[in-house]
Structure 1
């Protein structure tokens, strides 16, 4: 297991969050450290799976698709983890999380329309043993979508 992120690590992540294409040299200049320090820390954080640098889809640009939130209730609480892991294997799901509250699991995907959502849920989620029921909703207008949602707090 890797070490926890220190203050400098968190500052580097904060600089990368709005645009991961920013150069190590620019980050180093802004933080008052060497470019090698930034490069080494980014490499370590990636190797230890503390960060992942990736492209993020801008959902505002999809005119023919909607973001679908699929809330899943399981039959028994001891099945939650296994069902969540099974859902995480479904390639179309971009997010799967175990939740506290009314539902046990939340899964998020993109769909073309309500018919597409219904087919997807019935063929990919309801068929998993232990799924008691699902409830779905579609996101229609997004007033704020912060791509840095996963930034480190603290």
Structure 2
């Protein structure tokens, strides 16, 4: 499914999770039923996924970090991404181009938790040849 301009208007307004279908409809000039049907279609097609987001900055003793990962063989990328995504504390894993193969976003308990994640959790994933960690100091507009 390729969202059209009306779908994108709805998606952008849904960033405010408290906005009702009626309010969205009024803002973009369609009836509420149109908004409801389009949201249903966007969800069914997998284009729109609704989830609660955590703001790590508001959690005490929690640290957000990005870990750049290099794997031993390119053919392992998808399998390693899926394996790492299943690890405790992992928020997202992306296959990327450039110097690294994967970018892993984790939420851990302080810097000590990051050390534990790197040495006791991520290190158990066979095929990971190198990592580089980046502590997230502040995030801006952290949604897609």
TM-score, reference length from structure 1: 0.87
Q: Which one of the candidate residues 28, 31, 34 is aligned to 1:31?
A: 28
| Superposition RMSD in Å | 1.4
Which runs of 5 or more structure 2 residues have no equivalent in the other structure? Answer: none
Counterpart in 2 of 1:110? 107
In the TM superposition, 1:16-27 aligns within 5 A as 16-17=14-15, 19-27=16-24
Structure of greater relative contact order (alpha carbons < 8 Å, 6+ residues apart): 1
Query: Is 1:88 matched with 2:92?
Result: no
Contact 2:62 2:107 in 1 (8 A): yes
C-alpha separation in 1, matches of 2:32 and 2:85: 37
- Structure 1 gaps, min length 5: none
Report the number of matched residues.
144
Specify the alignment match of 2:116 in structure 1: 119
The equivalent of 2:10 in structure 1 is 12
Equivalent residues in 2 for 1:18-97, closer than 5 Å: 19-97=16-94
TM-score (norm 2): 0.92
Cα deviation 1:86-133 (Å, max 9, x = unaligned): 111114200100111111111111122332212112222121111111
Q: What are the Cα deviations for residues 50-86 of structure 1, in whole angstroms up to 9, with x where unaligned?
A: 1112221122212311111111111111111111111
> Using the alignment, how far apart are the partners of 1:30 and 1:65 within structure 2?
38
